Amino acid sequence: MASTEHKDLAAFIKSVHSNLRKESQIYGPETAWRRHVAESDTLQKYAEAMQKLATKHWAENVADPKKNTKCRIDWVKSQCWEYFFRGGIELFWDREVNINRKITNDQSHSGISTYQEWSDSENSTSGLSDGLICSNSELTPVDDKDTPDLKKSLNKHCSMKPSTKFEKSTENNLQISNNEHDSSIVQASHREDCKVKLLDVGSCYNPFGGVNFFDVTAIDLAPSCDGVLQCDFLSMQIGQEDVFSANKQQVEQLTVGSFDTVVFCLLLEYLPSPEQRYACCKKAYNLLKSGGLLLIITPDSKHVGANARFMKSWRYVLSNLGFMRTKYEKLPHAHCLAFRKCFYKRVATRWASLQKFSKDDELFHSDTNIFIPQDFTTWTREDTVECVSGDKKADVNFYNELPYT
Ligand X SMILES: C[S@@+](CC[C@H](N)C(=O)[O-])C[C@H]1O[C@@H](n2cnc3c(N)ncnc32)[C@H](O)[C@@H]1O
Instruction: Name the packing angle between helices 4-27 and 29-38 (round to 10°).
Output: 140
Q: Which is nearer to ligand X, 217 or 258 (CB)?
A: 217
Q: Please indicate if the annotation marks 292 as binding a ligand.
A: no
Cβ at position 329, least distance to ligand X in Å = 16
Measure the CA–CA gap between 118 and 102, rounded to whole angstroms. 18
Q: Which is nearer to ligand X, 148 or 299 (CB)?
A: 299
Dihedral sign, Cα of residue 377, residue 382, residue 383, residue 386: negative
Cβ at position 301, least distance to ligand X in Å = 15
Instruction: Name the packing angle between helices 115-123 and 88-104 (round to 10°).
Output: 100
Residues near ligand X, by CB under 6 A = 47, 50, 54, 201-204, 219-222, 231-234, 265-267, 270-271
Q: State residue 242 phi and psi, 5-degree precision.
A: -75, 140
DSSP state of 142: P
Q: Which is nearer to ligand X, 215 or 232 (CB)?
A: 232
Residue closest to ligand X, measured at CB: 202
Q: Which is nearer to ligand X, 213 or 398 (CB)?
A: 398
Measure the CA–CA gap between 290 and 299, rounded to whole angstroms. 27
Q: State residue 61 phi and psi, 5-degree precision.
A: -65, -40
Measure the CA–CA gap between 169 and 203, rounded to whole angstroms. 28
The answer to whether 261 touches 80, Cβ cutoff 8 Å, is: yes
Q: Please indicate if the annotation marks 202 as binding a ligand.
A: yes
Q: How far is CA 106 from the centre of its chain?
A: 33
Cβ at position 1, least distance to ligand X in Å = 22
Considering only CA atoms, give the Rg of the chain: 21
Measure the CA–CA gap between 102 and 110, rounded to whole angstroms. 14
Measure the CA–CA gap between 120 and 112, rounded to whole angstroms. 10
DSSP state of 233: T
Cβ at position 266, least distance to ligand X in Å = 4
Q: How far is CA 24 from the centre of its chain?
A: 23
Torsional class of 19: left (φ above 0), alpha (ψ -120 to 50), beta (otherwise): alpha
Q: Which is nearer to ligand X, 268 or 348 (CB)?
A: 268
Q: Which is nearer to ligand X, 50 or 347 (CB)?
A: 50
Cβ at position 97, least distance to ligand X in Å = 34
Cβ at position 200, least distance to ligand X in Å = 7
DSSP state of 165: T
Cβ at position 8, least distance to ligand X in Å = 16
Q: Which is nearer to ligand X, 44 or 129 (CB)?
A: 44
Cβ at position 183, least distance to ligand X in Å = 15
**What's the maximum distance between 2 C-alpha atoms anywhere in the chain?**
68
Q: Which is nearer to ligand X, 117 or 232 (CB)?
A: 232
Q: Which residues are annotated as a binding site?
A: 202, 220
Q: Which residues are annotated as a binding site for S-adenosyl-L-methionine?
A: 202, 220
